[in-house]
Structure 1
Amino acid sequence: MSRGRKLKLGLFVQGAGHHVAGWRHPKAQSGSENFDLIKQVAQKAEQAKLDMIFFADGLTTSASSPASVVTRFEPITLLAALSTVTQQIGLAVTASTTYYDPFNLARLIASVDKLSGGRVAWNVVTTSTPEAAQNFSNTAHLEHHLRYDRAAEFVEVVKGLWDSWEQDPYIVNKETGEYIDQSKVHELNHTGKYFAVKGPLSVTQSRQGHPVIIQAGSSGPGQELAARIGEVVFTAQQSYADAQAFYASLKGGLRKYGRSPEHLHILPGLFPVIGNTEKEAKEKYEELQHFIDDSRAYATLEERFQYDLSSYSLDDPIPDIPESDGRKSRPQLLMKLAREKGLTLRQLYREVAGARGHRIVVGTANQLADHIQKWFEGYAADGFNIMPPFLPDGFDDFVQGVIPELQNRGLFRTEYEGSTLREHLGLPVPQNRHSIVPTP
């Protein structure tokens, strides 16, 4: 392994699987609201020594939504439940800076971080879906650049609230009547462009200080926010060369904020289909593709591009699609993929239905390990966010085949380095701003 780096692996959990039709597989268990299945998968990921399990979120739904996202638990609540049935694995949750309030979200995430013993990460998103505004008493969705501007201030407010309490503030002296060391609690008194927050927070810090900050945007503003505040970055990268370029660009941007490259881990999504032979793996993938319902093609592509494609035939080449103010990086990635492969709308839909633009790798466990090793050692990734096509077998194949091979190659841990997520990731505990001794 290069320069002492350690491979990082997360599990991206969607109860109905990441393949749009994976739930139709004979061995699939549908689990969007199946806590027993989610618990089983989380415990299996912990036994495999993965760094974290990750839950996305969405603020809109309808009965016609894809099975993987039509229903889902509110993820912070879900993490609280999972914290009681796991001991070491990290717990990562998505929450929107556009539709939450900083004080409320800081309190919720700090509470779960405390309950879990310091294992929580927050995936900072700005919400790309314009319809979300209508669920929050708003008539209009903030423009893309304003959402990122708001997000930067939001995160700084949350981090300031997490510093409300220095470590070990309790005295609990029954004789003197002192319960709290009042010198260790601090108001924030923030007044900014978007927020005015007094504080302090009503939750003290966990052992890891702050929950880990994850960022998932790969657009220009998204990368800038990641360089500024991100400690883990989730991204979608199709080619090795593009992944290397993204890696070098983002890591290079850290210097602007006085940050060290090893304090940010880049984890592209990886959709694995694994067989005992390459032929068997390809047959498994074709079986999954066979379950896809092409009648959903227009709705799926229009949701991705936020553009009406109904006037085109599914067997037409991809037309020129104007950039929307919602998603930026993913439509650009999909357009690049379609142009490079010469895909029709139908073919692009089937790519999206498989992994939504993330890298699909079909092969044996050794071939999956080869892919991971190449990208890791070639500085195209620090690890991967694993996206099983369906559960539980799609993840079992990875745990039983790929994890042992990565361990045999000395690329992945056999035991956790500690009990907090920061210890797993090799990230420093942020120093509480109120504990910093001024330089004379």
Structure 2
Amino acid sequence: MSNKQRQLHLNAFLYGTGHHEASWRLPEAEPAHNLDFNHVLQIVQTAERGLMDSVFLADGYSGRANKLEPFTELSALASRTKHIGLIATVGTTYNEPFHVARKFASLDHISKGRAGWNIVTGAGNASHNFGLQEHPEHALRYEEAEEFTDVVKQLWDSWEDDAVLNDKASGIRIAADKVHTIDYKGKYYRVKGPLNIARPPQGYPVLVQAGSSESGKEFAARTAEVIFTAHQSIASAQVFYKDVKSRLPKYGRTADQLKILPGISPILADTVEEAQEIENRLFEFVNKDGAVRRLSERLGIDLSQHPLDEPLSLEGVRETDEVNGHKSRHQLILDLIRDENLTLRQLVNRLAGARGHFTFTGTPLQLADVIETWFLNGAADGFNVMPQIYPGGLDTFVEKVIPELQNRGLFRTAYEGTTLRDRLGLERPLNARHKQKAVL
């Protein structure tokens, strides 16, 4: 398939008042809208008006995020939208496969085939909320996650596609011989099955992954169909793109079976000067002391006395292999310090924009140029769009960037198909039991 025939895939990452950490402090911002369903619905309907593939809700099980639980929120959104995909983060470490399989099957049925599961291993250290002594080690979490995901897929496959008969004449609602136990006995999980709800409309909800560590990349190559990733430059994104795609053949997969969507976090205005003014306003509201404290905790050194306008050094910082959390994001920060010789103020401001994702300040036309360049030069199959200000940032993206991408033949002008898999050009997976029968 040539570049001209390829179409961008665009996801909107929902995030309160915006992905800039100071967006909630703007005079016009309404932080209470974090729990206002109608506010979220307005944003999602804007994304759907823009023909975007999906929206995404991140989640975790600790901290003071003050946001709605994703299954509840996405189920409500499913009833008020028609086309857009609905993706939620659900961590494997602090859940059970049966619950996750049932919830995503339910969401896929409610939305008529628009659900997606962002598979993470930890969703942050929440051991203290789940009776564990400590957060499991990074490699172990990925080993558990692979088994967890396999169990979930087997549960979805425990119902054959034609198991539901609802035959009034015979009095048979469900064909008993088409619903199967899975009798799974693994290293970490023992699950008998079957699931207590029919196979999802998509077969499996779209499987998404967001880790870019070595373990994360291997897990993605084996399992994921979409990757959300963070890169500060096209060069870094190209290396990642080539690396992950090259791992697919050993799992019997082709490059078009995995869509790589780097995060892009824009501030947009009709002129560069106006966009820069918005960015400067946001920087004024950044809590510098809080940001320095968090950065100190991440890097393992005390930066409280470091002058804001002097370059940082990597001396004494915690190395990535010592981190038991988000390894890829930690490495990204180390690379920024080493490669760009940033001052502490510059690093704080860079991370404030979108926690390490690629930030952009300029005009819609300039952003369209960046998107096209990355897309046509082996860095992305599309983008995880992360406006630094909601809802206005997404409004501008939909009204001014998407039409430009459509004019260039890079983005759809109408929704195709009915499911999220259709939008992403992903095949509906066969029930694994049918594959086994074919082999026999």
Query: Which TM-score band applies after superposition, normalised by the shorter structure?
Result: over 0.9
- Find 1:57's aligned residue among 56, 59, 69: 59
Mapping of 1:173-252 within 5 angstroms? Answer: 173-252=167-246
Letter in 2 for 1:293: N
Conserved? CA contact 1:297–1:346, under 8 Å: no
Matching of residue 438 in structure 1 with residue 408 in structure 2: no
SS of residue matched to 1:367: helix
What whole-Å deviation, never above 9, does each CA across 1:41-86 have from its counterpart, x for those lacking one?
1111111100000000121114xxxxxxx21111111111111011
Mapping of 1:52-131 within 5 angstroms? Answer: 52-62=54-64, 70-127=65-122, 129-130=124-125
Instruction: Give the aligned CA root-mean-square deviation in angstroms.
Output: 1.5
SS of residue matched to 1:373: helix
In structure 2, the partner of 1:282 is 276
In structure 2, the partner of 1:12 is 13
CA–CA distance in structure 1, aligned partners of residues 391 and 247 of structure 2:
38
CA–CA distance in structure 2, aligned partners of residues 372 and 328 of structure 1:
26
SS of residue matched to 1:360: strand
In structure 1, the partner of 2:403 is 404
Figure out how many residues of one structure are paired with residues of the other and give that number: 431
TM-score by length of 2: 0.95
Conserved? CA contact 1:96–1:126, under 8 Å: yes
Letter in 2 for 1:353: A
Conserved? CA contact 1:56–1:94, under 8 Å: yes
Conserved? CA contact 2:292–2:304, under 8 Å: no
Conserved? CA contact 2:314–2:337, under 8 Å: no
CA–CA distance in structure 2, aligned partners of residues 128 and 165 of structure 1:
30
Cα offset, 1:314, TM superposition = 4.7
Cα offset, 1:177, TM superposition = 2.5
Cα offset, 1:429, TM superposition = 0.3
Conserved? CA contact 2:159–2:178, under 8 Å: yes
In structure 2, the partner of 1:172 is 166
In structure 2, the partner of 1:254 is 248
SS of residue matched to 2:438: coil
TM-score by length of 1: 0.95
SS of residue matched to 1:49: coil
Q: Structure 2: state its 5+ residue gaps.
A: none
Conserved? CA contact 1:270–1:360, under 8 Å: yes
SS of residue matched to 2:247: helix
Matching of residue 309 in structure 1 with residue 309 in structure 2: no
Cα offset, 1:32, TM superposition = 1.6
In structure 2, the partner of 1:322 is 318
In structure 2, the partner of 1:67 is none
SS of residue matched to 1:106: helix
CA–CA distance in structure 1, aligned partners of residues 434 and 331 of structure 2:
44
CA–CA distance in structure 2, aligned partners of residues 212 and 142 of structure 1:
26
SS of residue matched to 1:237: coil
Cα offset, 1:266, TM superposition = 0.3
- Find 1:270's aligned residue among 264, 268, 288: 264
In structure 1, the partner of 2:394 is 395
Letter in 2 for 1:120: A
Conserved? CA contact 1:318–1:343, under 8 Å: no
Alpha carbons of 1:308 and 1:358: their partners in 2 closer, same or farther (altered >3 Å)?
Answer: same
After TM superposition, the structure 1 stretch with the greater mean CA deviation from structure 2, 141-150 or 199-208, is 199-208
Conserved? CA contact 2:314–2:338, under 8 Å: no
Conserved? CA contact 2:4–2:409, under 8 Å: no
Conserved? CA contact 2:272–2:363, under 8 Å: yes
Cα offset, 1:184, TM superposition = 1.4
CA–CA distance in structure 1, aligned partners of residues 140 and 353 of structure 2:
32
Q: Structure 1: state its 5+ residue gaps.
A: 63-69
Letter in 2 for 1:108: K
Cα offset, 1:424, TM superposition = 0.2
In structure 2, the partner of 1:40 is 42
What whole-Å deviation, never above 9, does each CA across 1:214-255 have from its counterpart, x for those lacking one?
000000000000000010000001111111110000000001
What whole-Å deviation, never above 9, does each CA across 1:71-117 have from its counterpart, x for those lacking one?
11111111111110111100000000110101111111111111100
Cα offset, 1:29, TM superposition = 3.2
CA–CA distance in structure 2, aligned partners of residues 106 and 138 of structure 1:
23
What whole-Å deviation, never above 9, does each CA across 1:280-320 have from its counterpart, x for those lacking one?
211221121111121212333145x2635256425352443
Alpha carbons of 1:399 and 1:114: their partners in 2 closer, same or farther (altered >3 Å)?
Answer: same
SS of residue matched to 1:37: helix
What whole-Å deviation, never above 9, does each CA across 1:130-185 have from its counterpart, x for those lacking one?
3x100111111100100011011111111111111111322223343222112211
SS of residue matched to 2:417: coil
Letter in 2 for 1:290: E
Mapping of 1:403-422 within 5 angstroms? Answer: 403-422=402-421
Cα offset, 1:396, TM superposition = 0.9
Matching of residue 359 in structure 1 with residue 361 in structure 2: no
What whole-Å deviation, never above 9, does each CA across 1:300-359 have from its counterpart, x for those lacking one?
3145x2635256425352443123222211010111012222123332122111111100
SS of residue matched to 2:248: helix
What whole-Å deviation, never above 9, does each CA across 1:371-416 have from its counterpart, x for those lacking one?
0000000010000001111211111111111011001111000111
CA–CA distance in structure 1, aligned partners of residues 399 and 83 of structure 2:
20
Letter in 2 for 1:125: V
Conserved? CA contact 2:51–2:84, under 8 Å: yes
CA–CA distance in structure 2, aligned partners of residues 314 and 221 of structure 1:
36
Conserved? CA contact 1:318–1:345, under 8 Å: no
Conserved? CA contact 2:293–2:304, under 8 Å: no
Conserved? CA contact 1:128–1:326, under 8 Å: no
SS of residue matched to 1:91: strand
